[in-house]
């Protein structure tokens, strides 16, 4: 029997935690092989990469709610869809229980939890980020504008805790949207630096409260090293990094190529990517804020030797695939957290490219999710 969280029976997250981890890996490998067969992709399926199955996540978003006695609770969504009070989270941080306990004990008698049905209340979410390499913590309290947060008292509580010395950043985020999600309508840094630092390989990355970053930092480093290995870089390559986010993959490859262009539609991501390039003293990388489809349609850069693609879960649209093929890069390295769209895209691109291999990465132990990497080589006419 695997080590099981006390909330396993009710939490909607780690649905496979009661299965021995080696068996989980085998199941995921088999699922990838079945999908390859289903899409008639005759290619090598490499062994799944795996990492520590516990305390691997670098970010969690917890939700405030009220229990049957109208008391403030904070936790995750249960299998039924309601919020349950959380005491531990074995996939995030050893500090999870203590952080939630201290925050709830302070806030519960001062402010009401937000009700997503009546749209009344104050406390909405608690964001906690933990850099796995530096162990720095970032806390983000998400509320409505219904009340004013007593910031000094809240900070004193956090900083006086046993883990207070690890806190590098605290934000107060205002979200009056009716959507049941974290939306950064207004954010205020109330303590420390605006970022925490995560080290991946030889590079440092500044992670802000609203930054999208690979959830599994340890796994991300292995993935980036594999991409570098499979790219077989000689030093003269020009690389196009589509859906670059904060620039992690492009930055990781930059010291072994001539130039990298990163493209992403999110302005905040491009700003973070440019900052990350600067703090790593890189001059051969540039980031472009643009919609990927429009960028490829109006492509005006030098011909890339390699295109790296890491799209959102929805994968690539038909037009993006059409114009990517039209660009005819000799190689494409495609990574995705959604095997369903990943295989559809590989099947479509396979009309013009050979799929050399598919390699899974277990970024999400105890869940059904898996990251995949594929290498595609342009077929000769």
Q: What gap in Å lies between CA 319 and CA 326, rounded to an integer?
A: 10
- What percent of the chain is modeled with pLDDT above 70? 99
**Mean of pLDDT values over 297-323:** 95
Average pLDDT over residues 222-236: 97
337 an active-site residue?
yes
Tell me the pLDDT band of 69, cut-offs 50, 70 and 90: confident
| DSSP three-state, residue 38 | helix
Q: pLDDT class for 2, splitting at 50, 70, 90?
A: low
pLDDT in tens, 174-205: 999 999 899 999 999 999 999 999 999 999 99
Q: For residue 48, what pLDDT band results from cuts at 50, 70 and 90?
A: very high
**Distance between CA atoms of 366 and 27, rounded to whole angstroms?**
11
Give the model's pLDDT for residue 269: 94
Catalytic-labelled residue, pool 5, 14, 244, 337: 337
- pLDDT the model gives residue 374: 98
Tokens read off for 316: 């690539």
Confidence (pLDDT) at 3: 67
Q: What is the pLDDT of residues 341-369, one digit of tens each?
A: 999 999 999 999 999 999 999 999 999 99
Which band of pLDDT confidence, cut at 50, 70 and 90, is reported for residue 234? very high
Q: Where are the domains of the chain?
A: 21-53+216-378, 59-200
* Per-residue pLDDT tens over the stretch 103-127: 999 998 899 999 999 999 999 999 9
Residue with tokens 């670098």: 58
| CATH superfamily, with its number, for domain 21-53+216-378 | Vaccinia Virus protein VP39 (3.40.50.150)
Q: Report pLDDT for 380.
A: 84
The pLDDT mean for the chain works out to 95
Q: May I ask the CATH architecture of the domain 59-200? A: Beta Barrel (2.40)
Note the pLDDT of residue 351.
94
Q: pLDDT at residue 23 above 60? A: yes
Mean pLDDT of 10-19: 91
DSSP letter string over 175-241?
Answer: ---SSSS---SEEEEEEE-S-EEEEETTEEEEE-TT----SBHHHHHHHHHHHHHHHT--S--EEEE
How sure is the predictor about 70, in pLDDT bands with cuts at 50, 70 and 90?
A: confident
């Amino acid at each position: 029997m695997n080590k099981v969280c006390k909330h396993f029976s009710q939490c909607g997250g780690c649905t496979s935690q009661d299965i021995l981890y080696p068996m989980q890996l085998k199941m995921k490998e088999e699922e990838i092989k079945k999908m390859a067969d289903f899409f008639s992709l005759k290619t090598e399926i490499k062994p799944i990469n795996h990492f520590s199955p516990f305390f691997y996540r670098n970010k969690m978003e917890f939700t405030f709610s009220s229990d049957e006695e109208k008391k403030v609770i904070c936790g995750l969504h249960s299998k039924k869809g309601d919020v349950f009070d959380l005491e531990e989270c074995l996939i995030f941080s050893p500090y999870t229980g203590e952080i939630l306990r201290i925050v709830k004990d302070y806030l519960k008698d001062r402010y009401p939890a937000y009700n997503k049905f009546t749209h009344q209340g104050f406390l909405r979410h608690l964001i906690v980020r933990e850099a796995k390499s530096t162990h720095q913590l970032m806390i983000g309290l998400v509320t409505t504008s219904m009340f004013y947060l007593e910031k000094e008292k809240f900070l004193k509580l956090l900083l006086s805790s046993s883990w207070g010395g690890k806190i590098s950043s605290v934000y107060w985020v205002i979200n009056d949207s009716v959507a049941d999600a974290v939306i950064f309508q207004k954010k205020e840094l109330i303590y420390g630096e605006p970022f925490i630092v995560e080290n991946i390989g030889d590079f440092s990355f500044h992670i802000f409260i609203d930054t999208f970053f690979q959830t599994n930092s340890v796994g991300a480093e292995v993935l980036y090293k594999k991409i570098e290995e499979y790219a077989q870089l000689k030093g003269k390559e020009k690389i196009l990094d589509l859906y670059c986010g904060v620039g992690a993959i492009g930055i990781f490859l930059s010291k072994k190529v001539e130039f990298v262009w990163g493209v992403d539609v999110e302005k905040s991501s491009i700003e973070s990517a440019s900052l990350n390039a600067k703090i790593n003293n890189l001059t051969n990388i540039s980031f472009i804020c643009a919609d990927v489809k429009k960028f490829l349609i109006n492509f005006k850069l030098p011909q890339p030797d390699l295109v790296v693609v890491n799209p959102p879960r929805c994968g690539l649209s038909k037009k993006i695939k059409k114009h990517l093929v039209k660009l005819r890069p000799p190689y494409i390295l495609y990574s995705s957290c959604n095997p369903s769209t990943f295989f559809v895209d590989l099947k479509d691109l396979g009309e013009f490219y050979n799929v050399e291999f598919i390699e899974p990465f277990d970024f999400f132990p105890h869940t059904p999710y898996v990251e995949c990497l594929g290498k595609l080589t342009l077929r000769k006419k």
